[in-house]
Amino acid sequence: MNRVVTVGETTYDIVFRNAQPTGAVVGGSVLNTSISLGRLGIPVTFVSRMGNDQVGQLSIDFLKSNAINCDFITRYEGNSRLALAFLDEQNNASYEFYKADKAPSLIFPEINKDDIVVFGSTNAIKDEGRNSLLLFLNQVHDKNALSIYDPNIRECNPLELIEVRKKVKENFHLAKIVKGSTDDFQRLYNTSNANELFSVLSKYGVEVLIITAGSLPVQVCTASVSLSINVEAIEPVSTIGAGDNFTSGLIWGLLAKVQLIRQLSVITEAQWREILQPAIAFSIEVCCSEANYISKDFADKFLVG
């Protein structure tokens, strides 16, 4: 089976409702994707960094309990990263982050052409370790492995946005699939029109653009396809992890049609609808719980054999 290599930050999420903490879980955008994939029985190697504190050890133990390869997690002396997630009346989350003490360079595995690499969020645009990340992503590109980038852009001031756009553009050049939310693209370019955005991103080498919008239709653009896929309207318990698990469902859907992974531009509209069915289902499943990832019982429904 294809290996998935995920690159991202680890956070310890403390969740607040009505100004009171209600729970805490191991989190981080790409980590959430990794856990769901591990529960599906997909081989996952997680590349990250965390402190040698109790939070770091809790995170390592949790990852290993979900069958994640932790050989490329860098540990350092100091405190791990924390995130406070505040849920509003509609259960949408806003965040405050408390940075880790240190940010040592990441150590990356050797890449094979059949690997799938997922990267994104803050880790993909931070200055610390960016040179080594870009070197790794260029190796992924040279191997012609499938790379998936989720910008997951946070609010920032206009001066910061200039630098963010520059780094995001560099990342686009190293991704075959870009999957983001309408919020991401509104913050970056003041538009979430998939056709307009794909006309730009395709010039950077992006082959597939997928834009999610909560309960609104998912937009998909490739060189041969432009479509919208309706999403079931639900009353969410929490939106934490919704986009991350869309990514895990996307990978699951692609692996179900693994012969098409190396020829993304020829995937038909009907095939994209099949591929994205689990992506939407995974996202809804997470929104209907307080977890950051799909449950093991839910994952069991997708296991083969």
DSSP string, 192-235: --HHHHHHHHGGGT--EEEEEETTEEEEEE-SS-EEEE------
- DSSP, res 266: G
CA distance 178 to 184: 11
> Which CATH number applies to 4-300?
3.40.1190.20
Helix, strand or coil for residue 302?
A: coil
Question: What integer pLDDT is reported at residue 165 of this predicted model?
Answer: 95
CB 42 within 8 Å of CB 68: no
Question: What integer pLDDT is reported at residue 304 of this predicted model?
Answer: 57
Chain centre distance of CA 5: 12
How confident is the prediction along the chain (305 residues), in pLDDT tens digits per residue?
789 999 999 988 888 888 888 888 898 999 999 999 999 999 999 999 999 999 999 999 999 999 999 999 999 998 888 888 888 887 777 878 877 767 778 999 999 999 999 999 988 999 888 999 999 999 999 999 999 999 999 888 888 999 999 999 999 999 999 999 999 999 999 999 999 999 999 999 999 999 999 889 999 999 999 999 999 989 888 888 999 999 999 999 999 998 889 899 899 999 999 999 999 999 999 999 988 999 999 999 987 54
Whole-structure pTM value: 0.93
CA distance 147 to 126: 19
Query: What is the domain partition of the chain in residue ranges?
Result: 4-300
Helix, strand or coil for residue 253?
A: helix
Question: What integer pLDDT is reported at residue 305 of this predicted model?
Answer: 45
CB 10 within 8 Å of CB 31: yes
Question: What integer pLDDT is reported at residue 270 of this predicted model?
Answer: 96
